[in-house]
Structure 1
Amino acid sequence: MIIHIGENNYIFEKNIIAILDKKAAEGTKKTREFINKLIEDNCVIGSLDQNTKSYIVVSDNNKTIVYTSNISSKALSNRNIYE
């Protein structure tokens, strides 16, 4: 199944590792370090601005990528229950 995550970005549900709330992810040291490492490695798709509400961590061809989304993590999580 394909999930729309905002800003004309779509991803395959089977590739999703985690859907993280931005505030919660930045409030945890290990998660913040993980996201920052992906940012440093240019593994981010989407804009990193004040409109970002969630991070979607994806494994694609054995590479970890993080997408940013202006849609809440709760709303994104609910999108995959309607198969």
Structure 2
Amino acid sequence: MLIHIGDNISIEEKDIIVILNKKTVDESKINSAYIDYLIKNNYLVNNVDEINTYIISKTRNTKSKNKNKKKDLIKLYVSNISSNSLLKRSKGLDRREKYGQ
């Protein structure tokens, strides 16, 4: 299932590693340092005026020289949509709420 994160960008739900709200990142030295590292090392895919959420995803590297050792590549997206709204868009979360899991 695709999750729309704003600015005409959608990410496959299965590729999302974590969705973090900006406040949580700003309050944690480790999370903040990791997000800064991703930005400085060109993992950032998009940009928005007002960041509310960071989304870290993976994508399969199909250009690996060794076909048996394909690596996942990390991507960082930013969104002006709240992390709660993005989580509600997730099919898995909707299913858990529906069945009380």
The reply to whether TM is greater than 0.5 is yes
1:55 maps to what in 2? 54
2:67 maps to what in 1? none
2:29 matched to 1:19? no
Instruction: Point out the structure with max Rg over C-alpha.
Output: 2
2:75 matched to 1:65? yes
Judging by fraction of residues, say which structure has more strand. Answer: 1
Gaps of 5+ in 1: none
CA-CA distance at 1:27 after TM superposition: 1.2
Q: Cα RMSD over matched residues?
A: 1.3
- Identity, % of aligned positions: 38
Matched AA of 2:19:
I
CA-CA distance at 1:48 after TM superposition: 5.2
Matched AA of 2:3:
I
2:15 matched to 1:5? no
TM-score between both structures, scaled by the size of structure 1? 0.91
Contact 2:18 2:57 in 1 (8 A): yes
Higher relative contact order (CA 8 A, sep 6+): 1
TM-score between both structures, scaled by the size of structure 2? 0.76
Whole-angstrom distance in 2 between the partners of 1:26 and 1:48: 17
Length, aligned pairs only: 82
Secondary structure of 1:20's aligned partner: strand
CA-CA distance at 1:46 after TM superposition: 1.7
Whole-angstrom distance in 2 between the partners of 1:74 and 1:32: 20
